[in-house]
Amino acid sequence: MKTSFWIFVSFLLLSSEAFSQEKDWKINLYNFFDNTEFGRSAVKIPQTMAGVQVAPELGVVWDTLNKVNVGVNLLHEYGSPNVIDKLYPTAYYESDRGPLRFLMGAFPRIGTIDNYPRLFFQDSVLYYRPNVNGIFWEYRKGDNNANVWLDWTGRQSKTVNEEFFIGFSGRFKTGIFYLQHFGAMFHYAGKMDPVVEEPLHDNLLFLTSAGIDLSDGTGFSKLETNAGWATRMERSRADNSGWISSNGLMMETRVEYKWFGLFNTFFSGNDMMHYYNVLGNKLYWGDPTYRSKVSDRSDFYIRFLQSRTVDLEFTYSLTFMEGRMYNEQMLKININLNSLKN
């Protein structure tokens, strides 16, 4: 498969020369260090995740509206004896026509669905699942946007469960007020010809919020707050569980001034992950802290560097839940080099 992949890359480059189309190249370097100190917690484990991703892409652009890019995302985890711990192929078509944008293939998660709250996707998803495999369609105009997407995360085999996400999100803003919605369904089925039958799970999650954005004219880079309602509907078909519902109140506040910021998230509701003790992160890609009925997380972050090509950010997080206080430290640097002007 690796040989075929690089043959395809070579063919793409030769085609670009033959038809005099504009060549496109990108290199993304993403370093992450994430230390979660959740000792004695009943809902989240303490761990350290650290590594570097190198993601080169080559492609062609025609009519200034269409592009085909191929590449690879290579992950090396700090301390690993392996040169490459994970390899994720990248190959996609992108059409960007004013307010409409369409992608299909294996494309980076950053810039598509990386804005989903941690209730849906915890931080480690970006570390270890950097690409979306499927389709992304988006309408955007000014501060308003809407999108639908598909991410096929598991092709059924004797060792791999059949899995995929279908999602949609959007934001509508008028003046200082806005409405936003995030939604996703995760389909988790069994392996091919399993020795032990596995129940098929349907997992739906929605979050709808209303907020106020006071960033303009205040001197703050960001000054906004919102409150919304989260609902999860899930079932285990083989167990005839019926639909199991869990709900909760979610409140978010972000204050950012120049290079310093605070992002606070408060949650109060039911355990949002009913089958976590059975399937854990196989079924739930969100932050396990939402298994707690009440939690409050405050991210204090400093952006040491922020430019078109380099972002260097340190975050110190405090999480209050289970009658205790936990902390987390994150240091991330993202470097983007691009042949095309942004």
Comparing 20-34, 109-123, 143-157, which segment has the lowest mean pLDDT? Answer: 20-34
Q: How far is CA 25 from CA 107, 112, 137, 304, 324, in A?
A: 14, 19, 23, 27, 48
pLDDT at position 10 is 58
More confident residue, 289 or 21: 289
pLDDT score, position 194? 86
pLDDT in the model for residue 23: 84
Mean pLDDT (whole number) for 147-171: 96
Q: What is the pLDDT of residue 3?
A: 59
Query: Distance between alpha carbon 173 and the CA centroid of its chain, in Å?
Result: 23
User: β-strands 244-257, 163-174: how paired?
Assistant: unpaired
CB within 8 Å of 189: residues ≥ 6 apart: 156, 161, 162, 163, 198, 200, 201
11 beta partners:
none
Q: What is the pLDDT of residue 109?
A: 97
Bridge partners of residue 36, in order along the sequence: 47, 328
E strand or H helix that includes residue 292: none
Whole-number Å distance between alpha carbons of 113 and 42: 29
Band of pLDDT at residue 18, cut at 50, 70 and 90? very low
The pLDDT, as a whole number, for residue 5 is: 54
Q: Give the predicted TM-score (pTM) of the model.
A: 0.91
Q: Which two tokens stand for residue 81?
A: 């004896």
Kindly tell me if the per-residue pLDDT of 1 is higher than 60.
no
Contacts of 4 (CB under 8 A, 6+ apart): none
Q: Which residue has the tokens 């907020």?
A: 211
Asked if 165 contacts 184 with a C-beta cutoff of 8 angstroms, the reply is yes
pLDDT tens, 191-250? 998 888 888 999 999 999 999 999 998 889 999 999 999 999 999 987 777 899 999 999
State pLDDT tens for residues 32-62: 999 999 999 999 999 999 999 999 999 999 8
Question: pLDDT per residue over 138-158, tens digit each?
Answer: 999 999 999 999 999 999 999
Residue 178 near residue 143 (C-beta atoms within 8 A): yes
What does the DSSP 8-state code read for residue 330?
A: E
pLDDT > 70? residue 12: no
CATH of 2-338 among 2.30.30.100, 3.20.20.10, 2.40.160.40, 2.30.40.10: 2.40.160.40
Percent of the chain with pLDDT over 70: 93
First-to-last C-alpha distance (Å) of the chain: 33
pLDDT at 20 over 80: no
Which pLDDT belongs to residue 64? 80
Local confidence band at 341 (pLDDT 50, 70, 90 cut-offs): low
The answer to which of 70-74, 115-119, 264-268, 335-339 has the lowest mean pLDDT is 335-339
User: Is 7's pLDDT higher than 90?
Assistant: no
Burial classification of residue 40, based on how many CB atoms lie within 10 Å of its CB (0-12 exposed, 13-18 middle, 19 or more buried):
exposed
**Which residues of the chain form beta strands (DSSP E)?**
22-37, 47-62, 66-77, 86-97, 100-108, 131-141, 144-154, 163-174, 177-188, 201-213, 222-236, 244-257, 260-269, 294-306, 310-321, 324-338
